[in-house]
Structure 1
Amino acid sequence: MNITEQHITEIKTTWREFTLTNDSQTSVSFLNYGGIITEISAPDRNGNVENVILGFDDYRDYAANPVFFGAIIGRVAGRIQDAALPVHNQVYQLTANEGANHLHGGPNGFHSVLWDAAPFRTNHSVGVTLSHQSPDNEGGYPGTLSVDVTYELDNRNRFTITYHANTDKITPLALTNHSYFNLSGNGKRTIENHHITMASKRYAELDSSFIPTGNILDAAGTPFDFTNGHNLKDGLITNHPQNKIVGNGYDHYFLFDKSGKADVEVREPGSGRTLTVTTDEPGIVMYTSNNLDDNLKLKSGTSGRYMGVCLETQKHPAALSHDNFPPILLTPEKEYMSRTTFTFGVDK
């Protein structure tokens, strides 16, 4: 197993890009800027090693990164309605960056931070710990927050992201990673025939602004029921109002059953690649790039709708307004800790 590092100098401030590689030719590359994962390469059923996430062809495009390719998202992943943050009896005004709403930590969220980086090796893995201290009132959020995010790859093709954080004031925290997966390899096909199985029977209803209404809906008998698995295409072509409202696809929060099974399994029949997601998070936002711009220059060509699927394991900011969502407030006496593992494999 190996760690390599290169300096990216195309931008004003030099970035560091790390690549973790295991003995099975699986590798993960990422920047200390935004913790942005720029490439994940994995073999297909024939041993062809190809990139399985979306990323820019030009590093300079990550400076703006309007679609959050591969980034650490925080302090709060998702949309906060009217950029108004209620914490107990006080409302903090955040920066609006999606109409009137605050999205993915705002314009200066963790996706745009230059993180400190410390590479490490263990007997069974290689990795890097990214660290950042977010000062009180950064982006409007209360509390000084210390955050560590660890990226780690082992020889069982498991890529694990671990999050740790502490605060000196009560503050909301819901971290995730925003990689767009496409298991066809080098973006050869859309994600329409990616077959998803998910241990979830419930999902959050959205309004026309993609804000949860507070209703948790039963997925049975709808395109949101992945308990026995089906292709993503089923939700892209349906007339179900919840698929239609987000632009014909998915951008919804699914609550996991936590039945002991894998939380999510993804299969791409053309390449034979598989991806298994296990997490201690209570749910996941699955986004099928319904509204992805069609003029972004990617390593795999030009971007477009349905070119990637985001699997954002997280708690949800709807908890700030609705008691039936898992809570997201972190207090000074508690440590935030979360772990998600992405395991790559093949169906022979």
Structure 2
Amino acid sequence: MKFTSLFLFLICALFLNLTFPQKDKAKAGIRQEFFGKLPDGREAHLFTLRNAVGMEVKISNYGGYIVSWTAPDKTGKQENITLGVPTFADYLKGTPSFGPIIGRYGNRIAKGKLELDGKEYSLAVNSGGNHIHGGRVGFDKKLWTATPINGNEPALKLRYTSPDGEEGYPGMLAVEVVYTLQKDNALRIQYQATTNKTTVVNLTNHAYFNLTGMKRDILAHELMIKGDKYLPTDAKQIPTGELKPVAGTPFDFTKPTVIGARINDTTDTQIKYGSGYDHNWVFSDQTDKLKLGATVYEPQSGRFLEVYTTEPGVQLYTANHLNGNLKGKEGVAFTRRFGLCLETQHYPDSPNHPNFPSTTLRPDETYQSTTVYKFSVR
């Protein structure tokens, strides 16, 4: 009788466990898998970082791409909140920088020209006669050496050494980028670089966020940027050198404001130049301490993103040139304004504007920068 009762108890327990799965108890950690092969036969890998509450970030050592990133909505549902393409072959074909490490220099340098210690350098020109995002073969197209770091806050350390003269830049640059998925649903990105010749460095990540979980565009997202000035540009989006107050312009996000409210203001020349927002904001706090720089809130999902950084500025780009030709893993076409980028950085074209914070790195110095993207719900 006791045996029969015990047997029935075990059967019922098994049935209940199968029918009503308990909360996912998978441990925090990092998993590595094959992602694809480069034309020269080298293998790229995909690393899945998972924390104890179920957030997952998938990162490739090819280009340091954030391939996907799940975050819970206000009901607890985990959904991908960054734009990415389905396969490694799609990344090899090229994307509008869906989440890679950008370097050596994030953003634009006018005419690909810069001067260091009295010597002029010519960089690769790859955007309307200007240099952008490191050139034709930037860090987003490099295979980085990866070191996975397991634990409750899993991390992925990526290293790449850029040779002297690559894309026209002087000096051999040794770069290290560490992605750490924290317990509090924040992804910390730490950048470090050293050089053997005086050069310029401006590293960032180019993730496109969509807090709806790929359901709608980002025009209803509410954005706040802690910056009371921005950088106007010329028609080719090169900064004029002026730091213009945002007050009274479509660039005022000092209080949370719906992105779509003024994005089509055709009376504003700067909006015309960018076909929307594609500009650098100057943070009110210009120190190199880690500080809050921006927030994004998506009302329907309840997802709330905070951006902390040691950088002096951030480039907001609202995917003004996506046209639906690319689709994500969810099968959704990436149409115009389907994502937003918050690229923490030094200012574009800084080497040609002495009044901008310097991006010069010398052999006796170490470049260091940290940005944290933290998710919660409201």
Q: TM bucket by the smaller chain?
A: over 0.9
Measure the CA separation in 1 of the matches of 2:295 and 2:141: 30
Cross-structure match for 1:65: 94
Cross-structure match for 2:328: 298
Q: In 1, are the aligned partners of 2:172 and 2:195 still within 8 Å (CA)? A: yes
- Backbone CA RMSD of aligned residues: 1.4
Q: In 2, are the aligned partners of 1:250 and 1:286 still within 8 Å (CA)? A: yes
**Larger Cα Rg: Structure 1 or Structure 2?**
2
For 1:44, which of 65, 73, 79 is the aligned residue? Answer: 73
Measure the CA separation in 2 of the matches of 1:126 and 1:96: 38
Q: Unpaired runs of 5+ in structure 1?
A: none
1:98 to partner: Cα distance:
1.2
2:55 paired with 1:26: yes
Cross-structure match for 2:310: 280
Give per-residue Cα distances to partners, 1:223-244, cap 9 Å, x unaligned.
2111111011023222322112
Measure the CA separation in 2 of the matches of 1:88 and 1:303: 44
Measure the CA separation in 1 of the matches of 2:321 and 2:304: 25
Measure the CA separation in 1 of the matches of 2:93 and 2:227: 34
1:325 to partner: Cα distance:
1.3
Judge which range, 86-95 or 283-292, deviates more: 86-95
Give per-residue Cα distances to partners, 1:241-299, cap 9 Å, x unaligned.
2112111x210000111299621111001110010000000000010001123201222
Structure with the bigger percentage of helix: 2
Amino acid across the alignment from 2:339: G
2:101 paired with 1:54: no
Measure the CA separation in 1 of the matches of 2:230 and 2:320: 18
Q: In 1, are the aligned partners of 2:250 and 2:263 still within 8 Å (CA)? A: no
Cross-structure match for 1:90: 119
The 5-angstrom pairing of residues 1-348 of structure 1 reads: 1-9=28-36, 11-12=38-39, 13-122=42-151, 124-185=152-213, 187-239=214-266, 240-247=268-275, 249-258=276-285, 262-300=292-330, 301-347=332-378
Give per-residue Cα distances to partners, 1:16-37, cap 9 Å, x unaligned.
1001011111111010000011
Measure the CA separation in 2 of the matches of 1:27 and 1:119: 15
Change (3 A) 1:115 1:204: same
Amino acid across the alignment from 1:143: G
Q: In 2, are the aligned partners of 1:317 and 1:328 still within 8 Å (CA)? A: no
Q: Unpaired runs of 5+ in structure 2?
A: 1-27
Q: In 2, are the aligned partners of 1:235 and 1:250 still within 8 Å (CA)? A: no
Amino acid across the alignment from 2:148: P
The aligned length equals: 344
Q: In 2, are the aligned partners of 1:200 and 1:254 still within 8 Å (CA)? A: yes
Compute the TM-score of the two structures, normalised by the length of structure 1: 0.96
Q: In 2, are the aligned partners of 1:214 and 1:318 still within 8 Å (CA)? A: no
Measure the CA separation in 1 of the matches of 2:347 and 2:353: 10
Measure the CA separation in 2 of the matches of 1:99 and 1:293: 19
Structure with the bigger percentage of strand: 1
Change (3 A) 1:147 1:261: closer
How many percent of aligned residue pairs carry the same amino acid? 41
Q: In 1, are the aligned partners of 2:233 and 2:240 still within 8 Å (CA)? A: yes
Measure the CA separation in 1 of the matches of 2:228 and 2:348: 20
Measure the CA separation in 1 of the matches of 2:37 and 2:196: 37
Amino acid across the alignment from 2:50: T
Measure the CA separation in 1 of the matches of 2:280 and 2:116: 22
Measure the CA separation in 2 of the matches of 1:196 and 1:97: 30
Measure the CA separation in 1 of the matches of 2:183 and 2:173: 33
1:160 to partner: Cα distance:
0.3
1:198 to partner: Cα distance:
1.2
SS for the counterpart of 1:214 is coil
Judge which range, 89-98 or 37-46, deviates more: 89-98
Cross-structure match for 2:21: none
